[in-house]
Amino acid sequence: MKTKSIFFSATFFLIAMTSYAQNKASNYIGFSAGVSTPLGDFSKTGTGSLNNWNNNSGFAKTGFAFGVEGAYYFLPKLGLAGTLYYSNHGGFSKADASKLGDSYTDAFGVDESTVKTSGSYSSINAMLGPQLSFPINKLTIDVRALGGIIQSLSTPEMTVQLEDNTSTLLKQKSSTASAFGWQVGAGLRYAMTSKLGLMFRADYFNSDGIKIKNENRSNNAGRMVTKQPMSWINASVGLVFSLGEK
Amino acid sequence: MIIFSCNKDEQVVAPTISNEALTTVQLQLVNVADGTDKPTAQWEQLLDNNGNPLPVDVSEANLNLKANATYTAKLVLLDKTQSPVFNVSDEIKERANYHLFFYQPLPTDQPLVIPNNYPTDQNDIYPEPIPTPIPAGSNLNLSIVITDHDNNSQQYPLGLETKFTTAAASSGWLRIVLRHQPNVKNGTYAPGSTDLDVGFNVKIQ
């Protein structure tokens, strides 16, 4: 509910700002890459405590994102923006695996548990939505609110062996599920020539989560992630190519 | 600046930090038809100052029940090595999803709920005060039904709370075993390991 409110408020804000438009923004396509920093539950590394396990913390790491984006202006300052970005946020570190192991040892009251981890958070998101732009000489300030789909390509995997029991290994599987996501952000474009420019952006992305499958959970005990919330902020730089006449 | 996150495979072994000791087992019963009839029994094995087990104390491991009666029963597990005494039953209840108690009245002509392979396995002896092998004799006319359950998606019995039903006068023993079945609890005895194995003298009159 909160995320929807933010999304729609940002959309109305952008539409309202069009009344201040003075110059026409140009259509463009751009390519950018940068640092992607996980936020909220996605970045948390807590496992919880007995019978109050944290099933949302994602253990995501600061990673990277790159992709393509563009905008088509149907009003002088208001256009439809689209983005297609790949993101990677790492996986479980050795310290994470140790912390998870401690939690399963406690959760099942066993002498020891062996945790094996692999893989990383890897995803593509495709977004579409309104973008408001303010050209000031060679600079253009962009603000936008987008909605769309996040498609997970992989998530970290984990296998937990309780003591010497190899017949029922607890498994958190890699997910290739998709989910709704939204994004708000701002950017600055600097025109080096009439066709080529530089782009600097900061974008916040949020999704309530993709489904995570688990295997061999015979008894309800310990942390079990069934849906992984995702949120991050991207800081990126790139090149933009203006399309058509300004 | 672009930071590439590593995603190499990791493996760690996480050992347990602490364990409670099960030193004392108390059976607390209440006759459903007569609230003043509240038999109790206690099995105890304390530890010395070095943590080594002392001889089992079965001086109070005697359960006297009335014939043709029904009792509600509660099992209380204590760790008397801690001060104040730690109630392990609460811990077991919190961890109900992978613990299961089994109750075995003896002698019986029914298939054993708790397996016993004596004399094939000479080390498979009953806990005190139950003799090994069980002397030939009439059955102990006692049936026990577990009334509490865990919180698994498919619920299984736990066994801290039970209903004892007696028939005609008889005598024998009651063996109680707590099985620890992490992620393998399925309602049967076999999976897992034994956390507790105790016995009581039972007289029904």
Q: What DSSP designation does B53 have?
A: B
Q: What is the pTM of this model?
A: 0.85
* CATH 2.40.440.10 corresponds to the domain A2-243: no
What is the 3-state secondary structure of B13-31?
Answer: EEECCCCCCCCEEEEEEEE
Chosen for mutation from A155, A165, A218 (greatest number of chain B CBs closer than 10 Å) is: A218
Residue of A33, A94, A162 with shortest CB distance to B10: A94
Residue of B7, B182, B186 with shortest CB distance to A162: B182
> How many separate helices (H) and strands (E) can be counted in chain A?
3, 14
- The pLDDT confidence band at residue A51, using thresholds 50, 70 and 90, is confident
- Dump pLDDT digits (tens) for A185-222: 999 999 999 999 999 999 999 999 999 999 999 999 99
The pLDDT assigned to A23 comes to 74
Q: Of chain A residues 85-144, which have a CB less than 8 A from chain B?
A: 88-94, 96-98, 100-102, 104-106, 108-120
A91:B5 CB<8 A: yes
Stretch B89-97: mean pLDDT: 93
Q: Is A64 on the interface with B (CB under 8 A)?
A: yes
- Dump pLDDT digits (tens) for B146-174: 999 999 999 999 999 999 999 999 999 99
A221:B97 CB<8 A: yes
For residues A129 and A146, give the distance between their C-alpha atoms in angstroms, rounded to a whole number: 4
For residues B70 and A76, give the distance between their C-alpha atoms in angstroms, rounded to a whole number: 86
Tell me what percent of the residues of chain A surpass a pLDDT of 90.
83
Calculate how close chain A gets to B178, using CA atoms only, in Å.
Answer: 14
Domain ranges of chain B: 24-204
Asked if pLDDT for residue A18 goes beyond 60, the answer is no
- The pLDDT confidence band at residue A13, using thresholds 50, 70 and 90, is low
Report the residue of chain B nearest A34, measured CA to CA.
Answer: B2
Peptide bond into B119 cis (omega under 30): yes
The pLDDT assigned to B4 comes to 39
Count, residues in chain A: 246
Residues 6+ apart with CB under 8 A from A234: A34, A35, A36, A37, A65, A85, A87, A185, A201, A202, A203, A205
For residues A119 and A176, give the distance between their C-alpha atoms in angstroms, rounded to a whole number: 12
Closest CA to B73 of B16, B105, B21, B29: B29
Report the residue of chain B nearest A114, measured CA to CA.
Answer: B13
Query: Higher confidence at residue B124 or residue B6?
Result: B124
Residue type, A41: D
Asked if pLDDT for residue B30 goes beyond 90, the answer is yes
The pLDDT assigned to A184 comes to 98
Closest CA to A158 of A149, A171, A168: A171
Calculate how close chain A gets to B150, using CA atoms only, in Å.
Answer: 9
Report the residue of chain B nearest A50, measured CA to CA.
Answer: B94
Query: Higher confidence at residue A53 or residue A24?
Result: A53
A51:B94 CB<8 A: yes
For residues A109 and B178, give the distance between their C-alpha atoms in angstroms, rounded to a whole number: 14
Contact between A15 and A130 (Cβ < 8 Å) = yes
B-chain CB neighbours of A91 within 8 Å are 5-7
The pLDDT assigned to B12 comes to 72
Sheet harboring A157-162: ordered strands across?
Answer: A214-215, A165-172, A157-162, A112-118, B10-15
Asked if pLDDT for residue A99 goes beyond 90, the answer is yes
Asked if pLDDT for residue B145 goes beyond 50, the answer is yes
**SS3 of A135, please?**
strand
The pLDDT assigned to B3 comes to 36
Residue of B2, B5, B7 with shortest CB distance to A34: B2
Structure-block tokens of residue A193:
């020539």
Q: Is A59 on the interface with B (CB under 8 A)?
A: no
| Average pLDDT of every residue of chain B | 91
Tell me what percent of the residues of chain B surpass a pLDDT of 90.
83
Contact between A228 and A58 (Cβ < 8 Å) = yes
A170:B183 CB<8 A: yes
Asked if pLDDT for residue A14 goes beyond 80, the answer is no
Stretch B77-106: mean pLDDT: 94
Sign of CA dihedral A105, A106, A108, A111: positive
The pLDDT assigned to B129 comes to 95
A–B: how many Cβ contacts below 8 A?
Answer: 127
Count, residues in chain B: 205
Q: Is A45 on the interface with B (CB under 8 A)?
A: no
B7:A156 CB<8 A: yes
Stretch B6-16: mean pLDDT: 65
| A118 bridge partner residues | A157
Closest CA to A67 of A25, A43, A36, A37: A36
- The pLDDT confidence band at residue B51, using thresholds 50, 70 and 90, is confident
Contact between A150 and A124 (Cβ < 8 Å) = yes
Q: Is B179 on the interface with A (CB under 8 A)?
A: no
- The pLDDT confidence band at residue A19, using thresholds 50, 70 and 90, is very low
The pLDDT assigned to A24 comes to 86
B-chain CB neighbours of A89 within 8 Å are 5
- Dump pLDDT digits (tens) for A124-162: 999 999 999 999 989 999 999 999 999 999 999 999 999
